[in-house]
Chain A
Amino acid sequence: MEWETVIGLEIHTQLRTKSKIFSSASTAFGAEPNTQACAVDLGLPGVLPVVNAEAIRMATKFGLATGSAICKHSVFARKNYFYPDSPKGYQISQMELPIVGEGAIDIELEDGTKKTIGITRAHLEEDAGKSLHEDYQGMTGIDLNRAGTPLLEIVSEPDMRSAKEAVAYMKKIHSLVQYIEISDGNMAESSFRCDANVSVRPKGQKEYGTRAELKNINSFRFVERAINLEIERQIDVIEDGGKVVQETRLYDADKHETRSMRSKEEANDYRYFPDPDLLPVVFDDAYIEEIRKTLPELPDEKTARFVSDLGLSEYDAGILTASRELADFFEAVIGQSVDAKLTANWIIGDVSARLNKEDLTIAECPVSSKLLAGMLKRIEDNTISGKIAKDVFNGMWNGEGDADTVIDKKGLKQITDDSAIEAIIDEVIANSPDQLEQYRSGKDKLFGYFVGQVMKASQGKANPAQVNQMLKDKLS
Chain B
Amino acid sequence: MYHTKTLSELSTMLEAGEVTSVQLTEHFLQRIKEYDSQLNSFITVTAEQALSAAAEADKKRKAGNAGPLTGIPFAHKDIFCTKGVKTTCGSKMLHNFESPYDATVVEKLQQAGVVMLGKTNMDEFAMGSSNETSFYGNVKNPWDTKAVPGGSSGGSASSVAARLTPASTGTDTGGSIRQPASLCGITGLKPTYGRVSRYGMIAFASSLDQAGPMAQSAEDCALLLNAMSGFDPKDSTSLEKDVPDYTADLNNPLDGLRIGLPKEYFGEGLSTGTNEIVQKAIEEYKSMGAEIIDISLPNTHLAVPVYYVVAPAECSSNLSRFDGVRFGHRCENPKDLEDLYKRSRGEGFGEEVKRRIMIGTYALSAGYYDAYYIKAQQLRRMISDDFTKAFEKVDVIMGPSSPETAFNIGEKSNDPISMYLSDIYTIAVNLAGLPGMSVPAGFSENMPVGLQIIANHFDESRLLNAAHQYQQKTDWHKQIPEQFK
Residues A87 and B235 in contact, CB atoms below 8 Å apart: no
Q: Which residue of A43, A51, A272, A279 is within 8 Å of B321 (Cβ)? A: A43
Q: How many residues of A contact B (CB 8 A)?
A: 28
B320 an interface residue at 8 Å Cβ cutoff?
A: yes
Q: Residue B207 at the A interface, CB < 8 A?
A: yes
Contact A142 to B236, CB < 8 A, known contacts A44-B100, A78-B317, A88-B320: no
**For residue B377, which residue of chain A has the nearest CB?**
A274
Task: List chain B residues, Cβ under 8 A from A46.
Answer: 80-81, 99, 103, 198-203
Given A43-B326, A277-B236, A88-B321 contact (CB < 8 Å):
yes
Choose, from B1-9, B69-77, B269-277, B365-373, the stretch at the interface: B365-373
Question: Is B205 part of the contact surface with A, judged by Cβ < 8 Å?
Answer: yes
The proximity string for A residues 71-112 relative to B, scoring 1 for CB distances below 8 Å and 0 otherwise, is 000000010101010011110000000000000000000000
With a cutoff of 8 Å between Cβ atoms, the chain B residues found around residue A279 in the complex are: 236-237
Closest CB in chain A relative to B102 CB, distance in Å: 10
The residue that B317 contacts in the complex, of A44, A80, A87, A269, with Cβ under 8 A, is: A80
What distance in Å separates the Cβ of B107 from its nearest Cβ neighbour in chain A?
A: 12
A32 → B minimal CB distance (Å): 17
Given contacts A48-B198, A273-B313, contact A89 B323 (CB under 8 A): yes
Question: Given the complex, which residues of A lie within 8 Å of B341, measured CB to CB?
Answer: 82
Which of B81, B198, B321, B328 neighbours the largest number of chain A CB atoms within 10 Å of its CB?
B321
* Least CB distance, B283 to chain A, in whole angstroms: 41
Could you show 21 A-B contacts with beta carbons less than 8 Å apart?
A39-B101, A44-B100, A44-B327, A45-B81, A45-B321, A45-B327, A46-B201, A48-B198, A48-B234, A50-B235, A80-B320, A84-B323, A87-B325, A88-B321, A89-B323, A142-B325, A269-B365, A271-B316, A273-B313, A277-B203, A278-B237
Report how far A45 CA is from B198 CA in the complex, Å: 11
Q: B16 near A: Cβ within 8 Å? A: no
A271 to B362, CA, bound (A): 9
B320 touches A89 (CB 8 A): yes
Chain A CB within 8 A of B364 CB: yes
Whether B236 and A45, one on each chain, are in contact in the complex, defined by CB atoms closer than 8 angstroms, is: no
Cβ–Cβ contact B87 & A271, under 8 A: no
Main secondary structure of the interface of B (DSSP, over half): loop
Mark contacts of A15-54 with chain B using CB atoms, 8 A cut-off: 1 yes-contact digit, 0 otherwise.
Answer: 0000000000000000000000001001111111111000
Within 8 A of B (CB), among A255-274: 269, 271-273
**Seed contacts A48-B235, A277-B237; 15 additional CB < 8 Å A-B pairs:** A44-B327, A45-B94, A45-B202, A45-B321, A48-B234, A48-B236, A49-B236, A80-B320, A82-B323, A88-B321, A271-B316, A271-B317, A272-B364, A273-B369, A278-B236
Question: Would you call B460 an interface residue if the criterion is a C-beta within 8 Å of the partner chain's C-beta atoms?
Answer: no
State the Cβ distance, A97 to closest chain B Cβ, in Å. Answer: 14
In whole angstroms, how far apart are the Cα atoms of A272 and B316 in the complex? Answer: 12
Residue contact A80 to B326, C-beta cutoff 8 Å: no
Would you call B129 an interface residue if the criterion is a C-beta within 8 Å of the partner chain's C-beta atoms? no
Task: Please tell me if the beta carbons of B234 and A50 are within 8 angstroms of each other in the complex.
Answer: yes
Residues in B with CB closer than 8 Å to A84 are 323, 325, 337
Within 8 A of B (CB), among A48-77: 48-51
Known A89-B323, A271-B361; judge A277-B206 contact (CB<8 A): yes
Does B17 belong to the interface (CB within 8 Å)? no
Chain A residues with Cβ below 8 Å from B236 are 48-51, 277-279
Q: Tell yes or no: A276 within 8 A of B by CB.
A: yes
Measured between C-beta atoms, what is the minimum distance from B148 to chain A in Å?
Answer: 26
The residue in A46, A80, A89 that gathers the most chain B C-beta atoms within 10 A of its C-beta is A46
Q: Once the chains bind, are B89 and A273 in contact (CB under 8 Å)? A: no
Q: Does B423 contact A (CB under 8 A)?
A: no
Chain A residue nearest in CB terms to B125: A45
A407 nearest CB across to chain B (Å): 61
Report B-chain residues with C-beta under 8 Å of the C-beta of A50. 233-236
Most chain B CB neighbours (cut-off 10 Å) among A45, A80, A82, A279: A45
Q: How far is the CA of A207 from the CA of B29 in the complex (A)?
A: 75
Q: Which of B300-342 contact A (CB under 8 A)?
A: 313-314, 316-317, 319-323, 325-328, 337, 341
Contact A276 B207 (CB under 8 A): yes
Chain B residues within 8 Å of A48, by CB = 198-199, 234-237
CB of A111, distance to nearest CB on chain B (Å): 44
Chain A residues within an 8 Å CB radius of B313: 273
**Given A48-B236, A80-B364, A271-B365 in contact, is the A276-B205 Cβ separation under 8 Å?**
yes
Q: Given the complex, which residues of B lie within 8 Å of A277, measured CB to CB?
A: 203, 206, 236-237
Given the contacts A84-B325, A89-B320, A273 and B201 also touching, CB distance less than 8 Å: no
A261 to B397, CA, bound (A): 57
Q: Is residue B420 within 8 Å, beta carbon to beta carbon, of the partner chain?
A: no
The answer to the question of B443 belonging to the interface, with a C-beta cut-off of 8 Å to chain A, is no
Interface set of B (CB-CB < 8 Å, partner A): 80-81, 87, 89, 94, 97, 99-101, 103, 198-203, 205-207, 233-237, 313-314, 316-317, 319-323, 325-328, 337, 341, 361, 364-366, 369, 373
Chain A residues contacting B203 (CB-CB under 8 Å) are 45-46, 277
Shortest Cβ gap from B321 to chain A (Å):
4
Contacts of A278 in B (CB 8 A): 236-237
The 6 closest A-B pairs by CB, nearest first: A89-B320, A276-B206, A271-B364, A276-B207, A43-B321, A46-B200
Chain B residues near A39 (CB-CB < 8 A): 100-101
Specify the chain B residue showing the minimal Cβ separation from A140.
Answer: B337
Collect the chain A residues with CB atoms within 8 Å of residue B316's CB. Answer: 80, 271
A50 to B369, CA, bound (A): 26
Q: For B325, what are the chain A residues with a Cβ–Cβ distance below 8 Å? A: 84, 87, 142
Q: Assuming the A-B contacts A50-B236, A78-B317, are A44 and B326 also in contact, with contact meaning beta carbons closer than 8 angstroms in the complex?
A: yes
Least CB distance from B199 to A in Å reads 5
User: When the two chains form their complex, are residues B321 and A89 in contact, meaning their CB atoms are under 8 A apart?
Assistant: yes
Complex CA gap A44/B366 in Å reads 28
Q: Which residues of B contact A44 (CB under 8 A)?
A: 81, 99-101, 321, 326-327
Contact with A276, one of B233, B314, B337 (Cβ below 8 angstroms): B314
List which A126-156 residues lie within 8 A (CB) of chain B. 142
Q: Give A278 to B235 CA distance when docked, in angstroms.
A: 9
CB distance from A235 to the nearest CB of B (A): 31
Q: Complex Cα distance A271/B374, Å?
A: 12
Expressed in whole angstroms, the Cα–Cα distance for A142 and B236 within the complex equals 28
Chain A nearest Cβ from B277, distance in angstroms? 36
A270, closest chain B residue (CB)? B366
**What is the distance, in angstroms, from B325's C-beta to the closest C-beta of chain A?**
6
A272 to B235 alpha-carbon distance, docked (Å):
22
Cα A278 to Cα B366 with chains together (Å): 23
Known pairs A88-B320, A269-B366, A271-B361; A45 contacts B97 (CB<8 A): yes
Q: A276 vs B237: C-alpha distance in the bound complex, in angstroms?
A: 9
Residue in B closest to A86 when the chains form the complex, CB atoms: B320
Max chain A Cβ within 10 angstroms of own Cβ: one of B205, B317, B319, B323: B317
Q: A272–B81 Cα gap in the complex (Å)?
A: 28
For A272, list chain B residues within 8 Å (CB): 364, 369
Q: How far is the CA of A395 from the CA of B295 in the complex (A)?
A: 92
Shortest Cβ distance from B313 into A: residue: A273
Neighbouring B residues of A89 by C-beta, 8 Å: 317, 319-321, 323
* Chain A residues whose CB sits within 8 angstroms of the CB of B326 once the complex forms: 42-44, 87
Closest to B364 in A: A271
Minimum C-beta distance from B359 to chain A (A):
13
State A84–B326 Cα separation when bound (angstroms): 10
Q: What residues on B are CB-neighbors of A269 within 8 Å?
A: 365-366
- Which residues of A lie under 8 Å from residue B235 when comparing CB positions? 48, 50
User: B100 to A45, Cβ gap below 8 A?
Assistant: no
Set of chain B residues within 8 Å of A45, measured between Cβ atoms? 81, 87, 89, 94, 97, 99, 202-203, 321-322, 327-328
**What is the distance, in angstroms, from B274's C-beta to the closest C-beta of chain A?**
33
Report A411 CB to chain B, min CB distance, Å. 68
Instruction: Kindly provide the distance from the CB of B406 to the nearest chain A CB, expressed in whole angstroms.
Output: 30
Q: Which residue of B lies closest to A89 (CB)?
A: B320
In the complex, residue of chain A having the shortest beta-carbon distance to the beta carbon of B209: A276
Cβ–Cβ contact B369 & A271, under 8 A: yes
Instruction: Decide: A90 and B317 in contact? CB cutoff 8 A.
Output: yes
How near does chain A come to B331, taking the closest CB pair, in angstroms?
14
Report how far A271 CA is from B315 CA in the complex, Å: 13
